[in-house]
C-alpha cells in the first residue's frame, strides 16, 4: 500500500516536468547503459591479465592485447558519453520540473485569499518554495540518475560474478545479501516518518533561530540572556534529543551495513587461499584478481543506493511542502460576477472565526453596520476587539462564517476579485515597501500611471520633503546608499500609492501608528487628501484622529457595543466616553512630562 502511495508520489513529482518527463526516462535508460558499458572494461582487464598469465614469464607472446585494450577504451568512452547525454536529459527535465513547480506554487498563491498571507510569512513561503524545488530538482537531475546506475551495477556485477567463478561469486554474494538485509529497515515507512520528523525539528530550530536574531536588540536592551528565548532553547534541545536518539537507534544497522559493504575481502581472501590450495591454475588466479579489483566497486554502489534513499525521503518531504501550498483552497470566484451599484458598505449579521480559533466566543459576533457612500466611519475599541478583522473581511481577506457583507448592495462574494481590488485601497500599520525606487513603489498603485501623476500623488501625500532629501529624487531605491525611511515616512509613501490608485473605498488601519508628531501632522494632511469624496473606514487608537468622522463604531469582544458621532458617544458615558477621558488624561500627562 505504502509502496503504491510512494510510487504515486514519484509519478506526481515527475508530472511537473510535463513532456520533459520522457527525458528523465531516457536519462535513466542511458544511465543504465552507461553503468553496463563502464563495467565491460573490467572484463577486458581480466582478459589482459589472463592472457599475460597464460604465457608468463614470456609476456611478449601474449595475444590480442591491443584488441582488448582498444575494446576496454571504447566501452569506457562510450560509458562516459552515455553518462553525459543521460545527465543532460535528467538535468533538462529537472530544470523544467523546478520551473513548473515554482510557477504552479506562485500562480496558486495568487488565487489564495489575502488572509493566507497574514498567517504565512513571505519568508516562510519563499523558504518552502525555494527549498522544495531545489531539493526535487537535485533529486531528479542527479540522485535518480545515480540510483539507476547504482541498481544496474550490482545486477550486472552478479551476472559477472557467476560467469567467472561460481564459488568465488557465491562468496561475494554473502556480503551483498547482508547489505540488503541491513539496508531494508532504512527504506521502511517508519524510517521515512523519522526523516520527516527530523526535518520538522530542524525547521523549528531554524525558525526560532531567526526569531532570536530578530529579537537581539530587545534582549540586549532588557539585559536578558539567550536563556530568555525559551522557545529557541527548547527547539535546540528537542532537535539535539531527537538527533541523538535517532543516531543511537541506527547504530547497529548502520555499523552492520558499513562492515558488510567493506567486508568482501574478509571472506574473499580466505576463500581464495582455501580454493587455491585445491585448484592451482592460472585461470583461477586471474579470476581471483578480477574479484579483488572488482568487488570494492560494489561497496561504492551500495553506499550510493543508501544515500539516494535518503535523498528521495527529502525530495518527498519537499514535495509535501509544495503540495501543502497547492492544496490550500483558493478564493472562490463568483460564477456570474456583479458590479456594485455604489460604494456603500453593509454588514448584515456577520459571524466570523479564524480557522484556528478554539475559544467558545466568536471573533465577530452578529456584527451589523451600514456605511453610506462617501461617509467616513471609525472603528475604535480595546485591543483584540475585532476592528482589524472587520476591516479585513471587506476586501475578502477571509470570507464570513455567517451573514453577509455588501458593497453597493452586492455581496462581496459576488463581485470579481479584480473589481473588488479596484474599488478598495487599504493602508496598514505595517506598510510594505519593495526594495525598489520610490517611483516604482508608488506607480504600482495604478497600471499605466504617468511620471507626472506619480509626482502629483507623492506631493498630495506630503512626500515633497522626503523626495527633496533623496540623492536621486523619486528614482532613489529604498534601502540602498543609506536611504532608509522612518516608519512615518514609509507610511506617507504608502498613502501616495493609495492616492494614485484613487479607489472609491479606503481602509486605513492605524495609519498614524508609527508616526512621530511631525510625521503624524503630515500623515493627517495626506489622509484628508486621500479621503476626499470617498467611503472611508478608519481604525485608530488615537481618538483625536477620528473625532470628526460621520460615525464611530465601538467594538468590544467581537460585537458593536456603541455607535454614534463623537459628541453623542461622549454624552452617552459608556465605553467610548471612558476611552475619551483616558485619551485626554494621557495627553495631559504627556504635556506635563514634556514641560517638566
Ligand X SMILES: Nc1ncnc2c1ncn2[C@@H]1O[C@H](COP(=O)(O)OP(=O)(O)OP(=O)(O)O)[C@@H](O)[C@H]1O
> By C-beta, is 223 or 432 nearer to ligand X?
432
| Cα separation, 189 vs 310, whole angstroms | 12
Ranges within 333-372 binding ligand X (CB under 6 A): 354, 356, 363
| Cα separation, 253 vs 306, whole angstroms | 12
Residue recorded with cell 503630515: 522
> By C-beta, is 354 or 589 nearer to ligand X?
354
> By C-beta, is 42 or 583 nearer to ligand X?
583
Cβ-contact 432, 475 below 8 angstroms: no
DSSP state of 476: P
> By C-beta, is 559 or 566 nearer to ligand X?
559
Q: Report in angstroms how near the CB of residue 543 gets to ligand X at its nearest.
A: 13
Q: Which stretch binds ligand X (CB under 6 A): 96-104, 262-270, 378-386, 525-533?
A: 378-386
Determine if 545 is a binding residue for ligand X (CB under 6 A): no
User: To 10 degrees, the CA torsion angle through 90, 95, 101, 105?
Assistant: 160
Determine if 386 is a binding residue for ligand X (CB under 6 A): yes
> By C-beta, is 118 or 238 nearer to ligand X?
118
Q: From the list 383, 448, 567, 593, which residue makes contact with ligand X (rule: CB under 6 A)?
A: 383
Q: Positive or negative CA dihedral for 266, 272, 275, 277?
A: negative
Q: Which stretch binds ligand X (CB under 6 A): 125-133, 214-222, 377-385, 500-508?
A: 377-385
Q: Which stretch binds ligand X (CB under 6 A): 20-28, 205-213, 279-287, 385-393?
A: 385-393
Contacts by 470-479, CB closer than 8 A, 24 or more apart: 470/438, 472/437, 473/438, 474/437, 474/438, 474/439, 474/442, 475/437, 475/438, 475/439, 476/437, 476/438, 477/435, 477/436, 477/437, 478/433, 478/434, 478/435, 478/436, 478/437, 478/438, 478/441, 479/435
DSSP state of 463: -
Q: Which stretch binds ligand X (CB under 6 A): 2-10, 174-182, 238-246, 379-387?
A: 379-387
> By C-beta, is 183 or 540 nearer to ligand X?
540
Q: From the list 27, 89, 385, 408, which residue makes contact with ligand X (rule: CB under 6 A)?
A: 385
Determine if 395 is a binding residue for ligand X (CB under 6 A): no
> By C-beta, is 387 or 455 nearer to ligand X?
387
User: Pattern of binders to ligand X over 99-138, x per CB under 6 A?
Assistant: -------------------xx-------------------
Q: From the list 143, 388, 490, 519, which residue makes contact with ligand X (rule: CB under 6 A)?
A: 388
Residue 161 makes CB contacts below 8 A (sequence gap 6+) with 168, 169, 172, 173, 291
Q: Report in angstroms how near the CB of residue 414 gets to ligand X at its nearest.
A: 25
Q: Report in angstroms how near the CB of residue 539 gets to ligand X at its nearest.
A: 6
Q: Report in angstroms how near the CB of residue 387 gets to ligand X at its nearest.
A: 4
Q: Report in angstroms how near the CB of residue 354 gets to ligand X at its nearest.
A: 3
Residue recorded with cell 519563499: 126
| Cα separation, 273 vs 291, whole angstroms | 13
> By C-beta, is 385 or 445 nearer to ligand X?
385
Cβ-contact 435, 478 below 8 angstroms: yes
Determine if 389 is a binding residue for ligand X (CB under 6 A): yes
User: To 10 degrees, the CA torsion angle through 275, 285, 152, 253?
Assistant: 50
Q: Which stretch binds ligand X (CB under 6 A): 186-194, 206-214, 387-395, 498-506?
A: 387-395
Q: In angstroms, what is the C-alpha Rg of the chain?
A: 36
Q: Which stretch binds ligand X (CB under 6 A): 69-77, 149-157, 192-200, 383-391?
A: 383-391
Q: Which of 509, 367, 493, 502 is nearest to 441 (CA)?
A: 493
Determine if 512 is a binding residue for ligand X (CB under 6 A): no
Q: Report in angstroms how near the CB of residue 239 gets to ligand X at its nearest.
A: 27
Q: From the list 123, 384, 471, 479, which residue makes contact with ligand X (rule: CB under 6 A)?
A: 384
Cβ-contact 335, 415 below 8 angstroms: no
> By C-beta, is 251 or 383 nearer to ligand X?
383
Q: Report in angstroms how near the CB of residue 432 gets to ligand X at its nearest.
A: 17
> By C-beta, is 387 or 551 nearer to ligand X?
387
Q: What's the start-to-end Cα distance of the chain, in Å?
A: 77
Q: How many CB atoms lie within 10 A of CB 390?
A: 25
Q: Which of 245, 257, 244 is nearest to 186 (CA)?
A: 257
> By C-beta, is 383 or 593 nearer to ligand X?
383
Q: Does residue 535 sit in helix, strand or coil? A: strand
> By C-beta, is 171 or 513 nearer to ligand X?
513
Number of residues interacting with ligand X: please give it, by CB under 6 A: 12
> By C-beta, is 223 or 383 nearer to ligand X?
383
User: Pattern of binders to ligand X over 407-436, x per CB under 6 A?
Assistant: ------------------------------
Cβ-contact 334, 345 below 8 angstroms: no
178, three cell numbers: 547482508
Q: Does residue 560 sit in helix, strand or coil? A: strand
57 prior amide bond cis, ω within 30: yes
Q: Report in angstroms how near the CB of residue 242 gets to ligand X at its nearest.
A: 29
> Which residues make up the interface to ligand X (CB under 6 A)?
118-119, 354, 356, 363, 383-389
Amino acid at each position: 500500500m505504502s509502496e503504491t502511495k510512494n510510487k504515486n508520489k514519484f509519478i506526481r513529482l515527475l508530472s511537473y516536468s510535463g513532456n520533459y518527463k520522457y527525458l528523465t526516462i531516457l536519462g535513466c535508460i542511458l544511465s543504465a547503459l552507461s553503468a553496463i558499458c563502464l563495467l565491460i572494461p573490467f572484463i577486458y582487464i581480466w582478459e589482459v591479465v589472463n592472457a599475460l598469465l597464460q604465457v608468463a614469464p614470456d609476456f611478449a607472446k601474449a595475444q590480442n592485447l591491443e584488441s582488448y585494450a582498444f575494446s576496454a577504451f571504447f566501452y569506457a568512452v562510450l560509458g562516459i558519453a552515455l553518462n553525459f547525454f543521460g545527465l543532460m536529459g535528467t538535468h533538462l527535465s529537472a530544470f523544467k520540473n523546478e520551473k513548473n513547480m515554482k510557477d504552479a506554487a506562485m500562480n496558486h498563491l495568487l488565487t489564495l485569499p489575502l488572509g493566507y498571507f497574514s498567517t504565512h510569512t513571505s519568508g516562510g513561503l519563499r523558504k518552502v518554495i525555494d527549498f522544495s524545488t531545489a531539493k526535487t530538482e537535485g533529486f531528479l537531475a542527479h540522485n535518480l540518475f545515480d540510483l539507476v546506475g547504482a541498481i544496474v551495477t550490482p545486477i550486472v556485477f552478479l551476472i559477472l560474478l557467476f560467469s567467472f567463478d561460481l564459488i568465488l561469486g557465491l562468496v561475494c554474494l554473502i556480503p551483498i545479501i547482508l547489505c540488503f538485509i541491513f539496508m531494508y529497515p532504512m527504506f521502511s515507512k517508519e524510517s521515512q516518518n523519522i526523516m520527516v520528523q527530523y526535518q520538522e525539528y530542524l525547521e523549528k530550530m531554524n525558525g526560532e533561530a531567526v526569531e532570536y536574531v530578530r529579537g537581539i536588540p530587545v534582549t540586549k536592551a532588557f539585559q536578558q540572556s539567550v536563556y530568555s528565548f525559551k522557545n529557541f532553547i527548547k527547539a535546540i534541545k528537542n532537535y539535539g534529543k531527537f538527533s541523538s536518539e535517532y543516531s543511537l537507534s541506527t547504530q547497529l544497522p548502520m555499523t552492520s551495513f558499513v562492515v558488510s559493504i567493506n567486508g568482501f575481502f574478509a571472506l574473499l581472501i580466505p576463500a581464495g587461499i582455501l580454493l587455491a590450495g585445491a585448484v592451482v591454475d592460472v585461470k583461477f588466479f586471474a579470476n581471483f584478481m578480477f574479484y579483488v579489483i572488482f568487488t570494492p566497486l560494489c561497496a561504492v554502489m551500495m553506499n550510493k543506493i543508501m544515500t539516494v534513499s535518503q535523498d528521495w525521503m527529502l525530495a518527498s518531504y519537499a514535495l509535501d511542502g509544495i503540495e501543502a501550498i497547492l492544496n490550500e483552497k483558493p478564493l472562490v470566484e463568483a460564477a456570474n460576477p456583479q458590479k456594485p451599484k455604489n460604494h456603500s458598505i453593509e454588514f448584515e449579521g456577520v459571524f466570523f472565526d479564524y480557522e484556528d480559533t478554539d475559544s467558545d466566543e466568536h471573533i465577530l459576533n452578529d456584527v451589523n453596520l451600514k456605511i453610506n457612500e462617501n461617509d467616513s466611519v471609525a472603528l475604535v475599541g480595546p485591543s483584540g476587539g475585532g476592528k482589524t478583522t472587520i476591516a479585513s473581511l471587506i476586501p475578502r481577506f477571509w470570507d464570513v462564517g455567517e451573514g453577509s457583507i455588501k458593497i453597493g448592495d452586492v455581496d462581496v462574494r459576488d463581485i470579481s476579485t479584480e473589481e473588488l481590488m479596484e474599488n478598495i485601497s487599504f493602508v496598514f500599520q505595517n506598510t510594505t515597501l519593495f526594495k525598489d525606487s520610490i517611483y516604482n513603489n508608488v506607480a504600482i498603485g495604478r497600471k499605466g500611471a504617468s511620471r507626472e501623476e506619480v509626482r502629483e500623488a507623492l506631493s498630495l501625500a506630503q512626500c515633497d520633503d522626503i523626495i527633496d532629501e533623496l540623492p536621486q529624487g523619486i528614482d532613489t531605491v529604498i534601502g540602498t546608499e543609506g536611504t532608509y525611511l522612518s516608519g512615518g515616512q514609509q507610511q506617507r509613501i504608502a498613502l501616495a500609492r493609495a492616492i494614485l490608485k484613487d479607489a472609491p473605498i479606503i481602509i486605513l488601519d492605524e495609519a498614524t501608528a508609527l508616526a512621530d508628531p511631525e510625521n503624524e501632522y503630515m500623515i493627517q494632511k495626506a489622509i484628508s487628501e486621500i479621503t476626499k469624496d470617498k467611503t472611508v473606514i478608519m481604525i485608530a487608537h488615537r481618538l483625536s484622529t477620528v473625532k470628526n468622522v460621520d460615525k464611530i463604531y465601538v467594538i468590544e469582544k467581537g460585537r458593536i457595543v456603541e455607535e454614534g458621532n463623537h459628541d453623542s458617544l461622549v454624552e452617552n458615558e459608556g465605553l467610548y466616553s471612558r476611552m475619551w477621558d483616558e485619551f485626554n488624561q494621557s495627553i495631559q500627562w504627556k504635556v506635563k512630562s514634556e514641560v517638566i
